[in-house]
Structure 1
Amino acid sequence: MNKHKLLAVCCLIAALVAMTGCEENPRTTSLRLALSSTIEDTARTITPNQQSLEIHSYYISGVGPNGKTFSVTTLSPQVIIEGLVLGTWTITAKGQNLQGTDLVVGTTEHQLTTTATRADILMGTLVGDGNIKVTFLWEEVDFPDIELDLYLTPQGGTESQITTGIVVIEATARAVFETSRPAGSYELRYELYSQGVKVDGGTEALRVINNGLTEGTIDISLDKLVSVAPGISITTELTTPVEGQISGIGSTILPNTTASVEFAQTGGGGSTDIAVRWFLDGELFATGLSTTFSTFTGSHRLDVIANTSKPGSIGSVSWPFQATVQNNAGVPIAIMSLQNGDLDAASQPFNLNQITDAAFLRDGKLLIASQNSLQLCKIVQDKLVVVKNFTDAGVTASVATEPYPVYGVTDIAVDLLDDMVCTTASTTGTMVVYAYDSATENLVKKGYKSSDPTPYAEQQWTIMSNPVLDTGRNLVYFFDAGGVDRYLFYYEYGNSGFDYIGSASIDALTSPANIDPTRLAISGDFHRLGMVSPANGSFHLMSNQFNGYDNDPASTIMIDRADPAGASALLNGMVFSQTDFYTFKADGLTRYTSPDNGGSYVLEASLGTPLNSVSAMVFNTTQTKAWVVSAGVNPGISLLSLTSGVPAHQGFTSSGTFKGKRIAISPLCDLLCVVGDSSDLILYRVSDGIN
């Protein structure tokens, strides 16, 4: 059976408000429409004659306050409509093909105000009726008493037998079926009988559009009859369709993991010289009694069409299943591994040379920082696809004039609430803030900050740490990892760029000294910052006071403490979980808890094997699960459960020779991206998309 995918078109409408008008004239605004559509055809589908199934143009109309109206036809997915009156608008969008035929329609009602400037139209209703004409040819006129049984199934509906519109012409070994049906996708099943014996059967997919003629021919191959002398009956080797079953697969499989399946004939066909074809979601992918395959997360259908050399032996078996990781309960499944220079499905290269960081954006896309570039990717059916590259002129690029000053970029921090992206280039000492536009899939530079070269300047640093964000107050923190006197800097970020708020010394007040601190971490309530010093095995916490003066956190050192193992702990970083925090060590993790809500900390527990040389850690939004990257002798990624904050090891996925150094989690907490130390990355799935 061939499965046809129903048209699903999403239309994004953005209304940009213009503040104009006077007391006698209603206030007006501009309406920006961003339109998109995806229409897919399948290989075994009978489609309308001389009619495109793709959206070519859009007819958009609206009715607003006091009978105001507008209408526009556009070929572009972006159109701006000027001068719409503020108020309630009923907006209708129709998708039309190249021939001007309406394919799909959608309507929404939206209240345009100075703040409610965004609406969506789902164009999901197919338009009108169309005609179907299917001719069946079996060539052999010697087959008497032909009967053709037809069954029609609308997509998502139930099968019904066709009782009208069928004309059988035995003299020319043909039959014609003609009817009119609402626009949509259908499955047409046929069974051909001669003298009450089934001689053939099959299934085809039909696509019907408004005012179109869906016409096709189905050629039925039948063995010729063997005639004998007059007065002796004519016989044929007729048989029943092949019957069988699929084995090796259950109702669920893991995505992007090889599954082995077999087909066994259990009856019918008249012989055992069986030919088998395998279809996945309506696409032929293999032949033979057994095969292997893998597929992406979601619902799927595996079909077998089998026949022998006997006429009328064609039969089919279907097996619906889910590719899911839900039964893994969060244990990661690798769905894609990439190295620098690998190509996506459109032959676009992935820029992973000396990759340093990666972060998910609010719309689920992935932003990758590598040597002197940023690359935006989206995830389609568990595969990364390149969307856009952001580069500059290189070492000579001007940070002030380049739209994307990415030379030497090392770190990414994302504000998912305001769609802001902050990057730092540690060696060049440059920090940039961008606004991310999901509709245009673009970054827009809003400002930058570089070290002030003036001697003894207040805003001066040598090597920048990674940035961390207080998204509630729009503050970005980083520290100077070089120089003699080390300082923490904090700036306010936004559409106007960066505003300097202040700085604080991070040199330890007491022993142990803060020697060569590593990556910066921030607590979930934004009141604490943390860093570790691998050289002497110490960690350091800073308190952000926020006394209400100019948004100044007034950061000060609050705790300096050495790990019990000292320098041999090989501390590699830290991360906060609510008020608790974890330090990354060569032999695993150490958890510190606060008995007084962050005033002091005590060592609560340590987790070891299979954790080794821990390099990164992330949590889901409910703080009930965590994933930990190990980069030592047994590299991989572990799942921890967190019950009342207490961690317990639940599973481990080896990464082979791949050693991860950074990890990012998607907004839906369904995907993980682990950045490797050899210009590579791995994409993992930990749920099917539900947090």
Structure 2
Amino acid sequence: MKLKMLTKSLMIFFAVVLLATGCKEEAHAETTDLRLLLTTEQFTSERSLIPESQKMVITDYHLSGTGPAGQTFSVDSVEKTIAIGNLMIGRWTIEAIGYNADGLPLVSGTITTLLSKVTSTATLHLTDLVGTGTLETLVTWDPDQVAEDVSLQVVLQDQQGNTIDLNVPVLDSGNGEVLLASPLQSGSYLLQLRLFSQDMLVSGATEAIRILSDTVSDGTVHMVIGDLSTNFEITVINDTMLPIEGTITATPASPVAGDQVTLNYTPTNLPEGVSLGDLEIDWYCEGSIAQEQSNTYTSIPEAGTHRYDVVVRHEKLGSLGNTTLLVTMPY
């Protein structure tokens, strides 16, 4: 008898709970699930003025959102596709930040989307670089090849071509070096260097730089002051950020004095959907613009060693890069 009474009491209790639960659900706004796909570029590079490649790899994401009636969420994930459940139907503003393995923020993105039973998926593009990093570039030259009035002209530009103020300290002319250091917003930059002696340009260099949040982008740029040699040397340096790498060929391969030399730049591993015609390719000689918007450059180099820099950029963020070669012409 006691068992029957206990069973009956439990049945009544569960019925009350179910009834209360049903009433509670009717009092809330309708909810659904949201499926988010995060997209961003991968950062790879082998250049000296670029942070270590692993520092530019996104390993995890933090997402936060604000929706109807002030409802919010905050989610951490190592996956690019993220499902978020039990969100109120309506318009949501969602922000995502991508971090590297050291916990440093790299990129962010924001989307405003209408969540409903029909539209329950969204793609959030991470396109904004985050934070401030530091540039530390040691510029060196042979002090025995320049006069005491040696000077260095420095121009720093962002990827949009805007000139950025960069303080140039007093040159250490005795050791032939100067350290360029400055905090910079995360992004890609172009550093142009021109070394003068007795008011004459004796060397130049152009370097692509990538700045990450809370990271030092350091390296050394040696200003080559041309000497005469019978060797014809080519140095190829990989491009930055986007995997746009290139090679430079010269015709003729072993020129003699007075020969016309044609240099040809060829990208070797463009990302899918990017072709040669999508790139802006400019040639620099000794730090000065020589030719714009062309993958070839023809000239008759004077005797000595000359530095040629090919600067390549694409409309995608972080695509700025350069390839360098040294051309040595005999007498």
Which bin holds the TM-score, normalised by the shorter protein? 0.5 to 0.7
User: Percent of aligned pairs with the same residue?
Assistant: 28
Residue 194 of structure 1: how far off its partner (Å): 1.7
Aligned to 2:32: 29
CA offset digits 1:455-485 (Å, max 9, x no partner) = xxxxxxxxxxxxxxxxxxxxxxxxxxxxxxx
> Residues 303 and 73 of structure 1: is their aligned pair in 2 closer, same or farther, counting only changes over 3 Å?
same
Matched, 1:158 2:162: yes
User: Does the CA contact (< 8 Å) of 1:132 and 1:178 recur in 2?
Assistant: yes
Q: What is the alpha-carbon distance in structure 2 between the residues aligned to residue 302 and residue 37 of structure 1?
A: 24
Per the TM alignment, residue 185 of structure 1 is displaced from its structure 2 partner at its CA by 0.3
Count residues with an aligned counterpart.
Answer: 255
Shift of 1:49: 5.8
Query: 8 Å contact 1:280–1:300 — kept in the other structure?
Result: no
Which residue pairs with 2:219 in the alignment?
A: 216
C-alpha contact (below 8 Å) 2:33/2:120 kept by paired residues:
no
1:99 aligns with 2:102: yes
Aligned amino acid, residue 148 of structure 1: L
Q: Does 1:147 align with 2:109?
A: no
Match for residue 74 of structure 2 among 68, 71, 75: 71
How many Å apart are 1:317 and its aligned residue?
6.8
Out of 62, 83, 94, which is 1:80 matched to?
A: 83
Corresponding residue number in structure 2 for 1:207? 210
The equivalences for 1:321-336 within 5 A come to: none
The structure-2 alpha-carbon separation of the partners of 1:320 and 1:38, relative to structure 1 and needing over 3 Å to count, comes to closer
Match of 1:314 among 307, 311, 331: 307
Instruction: Kindly state the Cα deviation for residue 153 of structure 1 after the two structures are TM-superposed.
Output: 1.3
Task: Describe how 1:259-338 pairs up with structure 2 within 5 A.
Answer: 283-289=245-251, 290=262, 296=275, 298-302=277-281, 310=304, 313-316=306-309
C-alpha displacement at 1:297, in angstroms? Answer: 6.2
Matched with 2:271 is none
Determine which of 122, 131, 148 is the counterpart of 1:128: 131
Tell me the residue number matched to 1:192: 195
1:272-671 pair list within 5 angstroms = 283-289=245-251, 290=262, 296=275, 298-302=277-281, 310=304, 313-316=306-309
Note if 1:114 corresponds to 2:117.
yes
- Deviation at residue 147 of structure 1 after TM alignment: 0.9
Is the 1:133–1:177 Cα contact (8 Å) retained in structure 2? yes
Query: SS where residue 304 of structure 2 aligns?
Result: coil
- Alpha-carbon displacement from aligned partner over 1:209-245 (angstroms, at most 9, x marks no partner): 112111111122336xxxxxxxxxxxxx7xxxxxxxx
Q: Distance in 2 between matches of 1:150 and 1:78?
A: 44
CA distance in 1: counterparts of 2:71 and 2:124, whole angstroms: 20
Asked if the contact 2:154–2:194 (Cα under 8 Å) also holds between the matched residues in 1, the reply is yes
AA partner of residue 287 (structure 1): T
C-alpha separation in 1, matches of 2:65 and 2:215:
27
Per the alignment, residue 327 of structure 1 pairs with none
User: Alpha-carbon deviation of 1:271?
Assistant: 10
Q: Contact (CA 8 Å) 1:44, 1:204: kept in 2 or not?
A: no
1:200 to 1:98, Cα distance in 2 relative to 1, 3 A: same
- Partners in 1 of 2:51 and 2:236 — Cα distance? 27
Structure with greater proportional helix content? 2
Structure 2 distance, partners of 1:297, 1:49, is 27
Q: Which runs of 5+ in 1 are unaligned?
A: 1-20, 224-236, 238-269, 322-691
Q: How far off is 1:26 after superposition?
A: 2.2
Larger radius of gyration between Structure 1 and Structure 2: 1
1:283 to 1:293, Cα distance in 2 relative to 1, 3 A: closer
Q: TM-score, normalised by structure 2?
A: 0.66
**Cα shift readout 1:340-370 (whole Å, capped 9, x = no counterpart):** xxxxxxxxxxxxxxxxxxxxxxxxxxxxxxx
Residues 111-142 of structure 1 show CA distances to partners (whole Å, capped at 9, x for unaligned) of 21111223232211111211111001214355
